[in-house]
């Protein structure tokens, strides 16, 4: 077979003019997803990438087998109690998807999760949904909404078989295992049963994939008869709905990136008009939690009105606009993130010194009893706590060296119990690895944190894999990864650059990396790379970078800004044609995104600023680019495939060694199924090792 040449997309100039500036785009025609020419070009890209990486086939298989060999394939989660049942998930060797199960609670007073047999079904087990069965006949399969009625008789579940994040919700009778006639089309995630189990609250999306309408469906009736509980006309806002843990209220939440508004409806009177808690005010975000104290209904409101890192107040349910009592005052030393109220205890989650923290809150005094850990880097968070009256609270913990661990706290005695730690098969020993916190100094003097892990005994300057994101106030917290061991055990150091635009160091860290400060994210990443090179951790020839989605924007920007710092760049579903996308309000989510990036359509300053950094706009033929691999999915609705397709085409014009791999039946999160996901990650890691010239290196 003749050797393939790199695909060269035809140039078909398309003009656009904004604020007096005319741009000629040669590759905008690639946006025509249904065009046979576009599909042919994408398939040619895949064929070329397969050819250029064919020499990695054996390494890809080795890494896949390493991931598989370290993973306990037949495993189960820690059971979570809801009503009269313990619910848990099982995975079975050889099967792509999980199996959702339950067993009855033997003693209503027993809140200790039962110990289940390994490798087989528990006595009395009922399989309520086997995703392997549901996925049959589909190239892609993803579960969205998943909820069991309070009385335990019905299940609702949402299925996406395309990758476009539009789910069809069905209802199953759990006694018979038969689905009812109910079928709710075009839903977003997050559908829930009403407390009495007779109705379903769900959300649908508009043509731009914005969740905009909350509906009430009566089980057993056609979807056409459903009632609209709330519609949000403002294209900057998305909506969601859910019942409080107390099951007394339905909360309908509308939010943009910077503003929010919550409405309340009594759970036993869902036809009543929703009541606004606090009317929306631009720039004010808040969340609401229902608490009962001394027989009185109260609302805990976490907000940022004149409190950038958030303050917690309490108001009467009957008068939320009345005088608010401060429970936890604002502090610039601590970013409050969440509060959860239970019948007898209240929990809080927050950040301090760049790390997650959790504690028990005394709502009267405001005192926080923090749950502390010894490791210098870690991630901790409450999860799996759905019952109003539960006396045991569950939380997760992990670090770059400690596998994900499920613990429980007995709030009556203060005792902690380890319920499960992620199994890592083979001879994994956390003591064989070491983690560090470094600080780089940015060009403007800001100190940027770096989380680092490597195998004990690794010496610098050595191969280093640097990861970054830096948008939406999302924090890239240090956590464990089985797949990462295949890199660490080959002598590669892994580091996370906690650049501005994320939320690691509080709200100001986010604000300093968005809109007209966005380029701080890019300069921070380069400054982190320079720090790691200067301090002897690595060299440019032994440094690879990775980021996905908005982190893919980061990758594209640093490729233009500092191509000589990196040997290779892996950009997953990369947002690299940012200006084109954010200029077009008809595209999915664009108007919502104006709060994150600014509005270049109406603001010439934002337009000029974005044009100065958008990766596609700034590919420079005069620069020598590192090796680049862009991955994407045809059905991605968040970052359209056309962005990396256009970017790679322009990189080729500049002589860059760029490849693109596109999944033809997947969404933003990539392929579905755990084995498929492991193979996908093995391909990416093999490519990174190839860039680092470590393809012949065996794990230590």
Annotated catalytic residues are: 549, 636, 668
According to DSSP, the β-strands at 464-468 and 493-497 are parallel
CA distance 697 to 334: 44
Phi, then psi, of 292 in degrees rounded to 5: -115, 125
248 in Cβ contact with 267 (< 8 Å): yes
| CA torsion through residues 27, 33, 38, 42, sign | positive
Cα-trace Rg, the chain: 26
| Type and span of the H or E element at 316 | strand 311-316
| Type and span of the H or E element at 521 | helix 519-534
Residues in the chain: 700
| CA torsion through residues 443, 447, 449, 450, sign | positive
User: What's the token pair of residue 248?
Assistant: 């007394």
Burial level of 323, CB count in 10 A (0-12/13-18/19+)? exposed
Calculated CA dihedral for residues 293, 298, 300, 306, nearest 10 degrees: -130
> Tokens 């009395």 appear where?
124
558 in Cβ contact with 545 (< 8 Å): yes
> Tokens 């996905």 appear where?
548
Secondary structure of 233-266 as H, E, C letters = CCCCCEEEEEECCCCCEEEEEEECCCCEEEEEEE
The angle at the Cα of 551, spanning 545 to 552, to the nearest 5 degrees, equals 75
The angle at the Cα of 569, spanning 563 to 570, to the nearest 5 degrees, equals 160
Using CA atoms, how far residue 675 sits from 56, 193, 648, in Å, is 18, 32, 28
């Amino acid at each position: 077979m003749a050797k393939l040449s790199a695909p060269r997309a035809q140039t078909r100039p398309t003009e656009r003019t904004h604020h007096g500036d005319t741009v000629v785009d040669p590759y905008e025609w690639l946006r025509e997803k249904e065009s046979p020419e576009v599909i042919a070009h994408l398939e040619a890209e895949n064929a070329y990438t397969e050819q250029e990486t064919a020499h990695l086939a054996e390494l890809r298989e080795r890494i896949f087998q390493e991931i598989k060999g370290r993973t306990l394939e037949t495993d189960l989660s820690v059971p979570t109690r809801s009503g009269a049942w313990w619910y848990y998930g099982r995975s079975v060797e050889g099967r792509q998807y999980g199996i959702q199960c339950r067993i009855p609670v033997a003693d209503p007073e027993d809140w200790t999760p039962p110990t289940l047999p390994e490798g087989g079904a528990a006595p009395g087990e009922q399989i309520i949904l086997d995703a392997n069965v549901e996925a049959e006949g589909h190239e892609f399969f993803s579960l969205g909404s998943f909820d069991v009625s309070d009385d335990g008789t019905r299940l609702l579940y949402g299925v996406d078989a395309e990758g476009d994040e539009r789910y069809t919700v069905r209802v199953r009778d759990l006694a018979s295992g038969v689905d009812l006639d109910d079928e709710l089309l075009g839903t977003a995630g997050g559908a829930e049963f009403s407390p009495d189990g007779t109705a379903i609250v769900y959300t649908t999306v508009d043509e731009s994939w914005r969740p905009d309408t909350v509906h009430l469906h009566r089980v057993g009736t056609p979807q056409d008869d459903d009632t609209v509980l709330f519609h949000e006309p403002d294209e900057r806002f998305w909506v969601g709905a859910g019942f409080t843990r107390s099951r007394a209220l339905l909360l309908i939440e509308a939010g943009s990136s910077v503003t929010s508004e919550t409405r309340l409806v009594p759970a036993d009177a869902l036809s009543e008009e929703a009541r606004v808690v606090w009317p929306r005010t631009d720039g004010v975000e808040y969340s609401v939690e229902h608490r009962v104290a001394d027989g009185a209904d109260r609302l805990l409101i976490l907000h940022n009105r004149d409190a950038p890192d958030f303050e917690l107040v309490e108001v009467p349910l009957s008068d939320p606009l009345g005088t608010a009592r401060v429970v936890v005052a604002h502090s610039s030393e601590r970013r409050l993130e969440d509060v959860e109220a239970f019948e007898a205890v209240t929990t809080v989650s927050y950040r301090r010194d760049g790390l997650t923290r959790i504690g028990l809150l005394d709502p009267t005094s405001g005192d926080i009893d923090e749950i502390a850990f010894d490791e210098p880097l870690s991630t901790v968070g409450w999860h799996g706590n759905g019952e109003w009256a539960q006396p045991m609270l569950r939380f997760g913990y992990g670090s770059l060296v400690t596998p994900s661990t499920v613990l429980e706290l007995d709030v009556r005695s203060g005792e902690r119990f380890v319920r499960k730690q992620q199994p890592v098969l083979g001879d994994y020993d956390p003591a064989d690895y070491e983690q560090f916190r470094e600080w780089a100094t940015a060009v403007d003097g800001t100190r940027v944190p770096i989380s680092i892990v490597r195998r004990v005994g690794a010496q610098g300057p050595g191969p280093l894999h640097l990861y970054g994101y830096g948008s939406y106030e999302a924090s890239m917290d240090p956590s464990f990864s089985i797949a990462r061991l295949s890199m660490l055990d080959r002598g590669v150091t892994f580091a996370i650059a906690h650049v501005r635009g994320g939320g690691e160091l509080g709200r100001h860290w986010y604000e300093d990396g968005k809109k007209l400060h966005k380029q701080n994210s890019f300069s921070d990443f380069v400054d982190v790379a320079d720090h790691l090179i200067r301090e002897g951790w690595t060299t440019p020839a032994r440094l690879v970078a990775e980021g996905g989605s908005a982190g893919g924007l980061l990758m594209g920007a640093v490729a233009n800004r500092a191509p000589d710092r990196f040997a290779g760049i892996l950009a997953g579903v990369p947002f690299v044609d940012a200006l084109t996308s954010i200029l077009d309000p008809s595209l999915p989510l664009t108007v919502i995104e104006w709060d994150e990036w600014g509005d270049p359509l109406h603001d010439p300053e934002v337009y000029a600023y974005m044009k100065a950094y958008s990766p596609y706009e700034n590919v420079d033929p005069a620069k020598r680019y590192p090796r680049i691999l862009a991955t994407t999915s045809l059905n991605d609705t968040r970052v359209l495939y056309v962005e990396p397709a256009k970017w790679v085409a322009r990189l080729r014009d500049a002589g860059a060694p760029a490849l693109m791999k596109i999944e033809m039946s997947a969404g933003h999160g990539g392929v579905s199924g755990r084995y498929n996901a492991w193979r996908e990650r093995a391909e990416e890691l093999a490519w990174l090792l190839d860039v680092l010239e470590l393809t012949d290196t065996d794990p230590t």
